[in-house]
Structure 1
Amino acid sequence: MTLEKKKVLDKTIYDNAKNHFLGNFPDSLPIEQAYLHIGMYLGWIIEKELYSEFFEDEAGTEIFRFKRRQIGPTILSEIWDGYLGYELFNREGNMFTYFYYAGGVFKKDYQKLLAGDLPSLYHVTDTWENYELIKTKINERYEEWKKLIS
């Protein structure tokens, strides 16, 4: 990794729920819906153990509770104020997130798999079934990415 790319990754904020609910967010939905897609991605990061020591130190209880399905993606994201930034991920987690999430592929996959015919991506429901669908797709993208970088 070049020094320039490392500097970019070291300051990257991939997403923030605030940008969604202060933007073009449907008035008919509760604000919590702006957190869901972020929480689904963060949940995948947790399951793949691509999070940083900082995140583990700060969110150890939430990581444990998510893995046990005691809290869902929306709550996971709300605990972090809908923030998804570089310091939450380890090196590999950041590299993949930069490629997949920041590159816009995650949003396209999420839209296609979960939002489909819904009015917007914010209309997706927070269910473990939906999480499993997107998790499977992210796993596929992750394996493809690993082949690209090897």
Structure 2
Amino acid sequence: MSRVSLEYGGARMAKSIHYDSADWHYDKKFVETGLPDQYSAHHILYFQRWLHERDALTDDFWVEVVEDGPRVFPQDFRAWGDIEFLDYMVKPEWRPFVDAYYSGAYQRDYAATLQGDLPSMYHIPFTDEGGAKLKTVLDERHAQWRENPDRWVKPQTVTQKHPKTSGALVTVGFILLLVLLVVVVGKLFDVVERAIQGTVFQVPVTILLLAMMGWGVWKAFRKKP
């Protein structure tokens, strides 16, 4: 998942969670399968159709998908590259489940339920029969999540558990690195100074070293756009 800012309905939406997109899966590996483009999005469509059957999709989803048409979930309602899945397409009360389940456990369940002997999950066709099989699994997963909302929550890292401590350690590490850098540069200057002392190269070389050090610091700490 990633967070994106979107222009929608003439107003700028807050940063949204981008659950999935067909073009994320349209890579070299997928192209080599020789499958039609829309197969890269079948797993998205299956999940969205299940949400539709549970009345969990928002008006925003339908506006983007079918514009002024009827709210019927057809086999192939748009070009494959336009198939997106973002949090604002899901009703608020359903988002915690989608946040927890979709990005990891869902694709494992999807492949285990429908792939069978097929070479990959991308070979799974989008059919009513497949939707019926997957519906049973998704209904069960949703029931399990309601009983235990932390079921698919990933364990927190040390940084997530102790953000202040981690921040302090990073600061101390940076200071120690800076001190080490100053000591090393000082030693380097001593060596160079002894080597060129009394020669015409003393001033130019000193200026060059200072310039190189300044350039290195600027490259290391300049803000990236």
Indicate the TM-score class for this superposition, using the shorter chain for normalisation.
Answer: 0.7 to 0.9
* SS of the residue 2:100 aligns to: helix
CA–CA separation in structure 1 for the residues paired with 2:77 and 2:16? 22
- The structure, 1 or 2, with the larger RCO (C-alpha pairs under 8 Å, 6+ apart) is 1
Q: Which protein shows a greater Rg?
A: 2
Specify whether residues 24 and 54 from structure 1 end up closer, same or farther in structure 2 by C-alpha distance, changes over 3 A only: same
Matched, 1:41 2:47: yes
What letter is aligned with 1:39? Answer: L
Matched, 1:22 2:23: no
CA–CA separation in structure 2 for the residues paired with 1:124 and 1:131? 11
Residue ranges of structure 1 left out of the alignment (5+ in a row) = 1-9
Aligned counterpart, 1:143: 143
What letter is aligned with 1:20? Answer: H
TM-aligned CA deviation for residue 146 of structure 1 = 1.2
Selected match of 1:64 from 71, 83, 89: 71
* Identity percentage of aligned residues: 28
* Number of aligned residue pairs: 134
Specify whether residues 91 and 18 from structure 1 end up closer, same or farther in structure 2 by C-alpha distance, changes over 3 A only: same
Aligned counterpart, 2:101: 100
Q: Which moved more, 1:76-85 or 1:90-99?
A: 76-85
Q: CA RMSD in A?
A: 2.3
CA deviations on 1:46-77 (whole Å, 9 max, x unpaired) are 111111232244446667322xxxx12xx147
> Is the Cα–Cα contact under 8 Å of residues 11 and 86 in structure 1 kept in the other structure?
yes
What letter is aligned with 1:86? Answer: D
Residue ranges of structure 2 left out of the alignment (5+ in a row) = 1-14, 150-225
> Is the Cα–Cα contact under 8 Å of residues 22 and 80 in structure 2 kept in the other structure?
no
Specify whether residues 76 and 93 from structure 1 end up closer, same or farther in structure 2 by C-alpha distance, changes over 3 A only: farther
TM-score by length of 2: 0.54
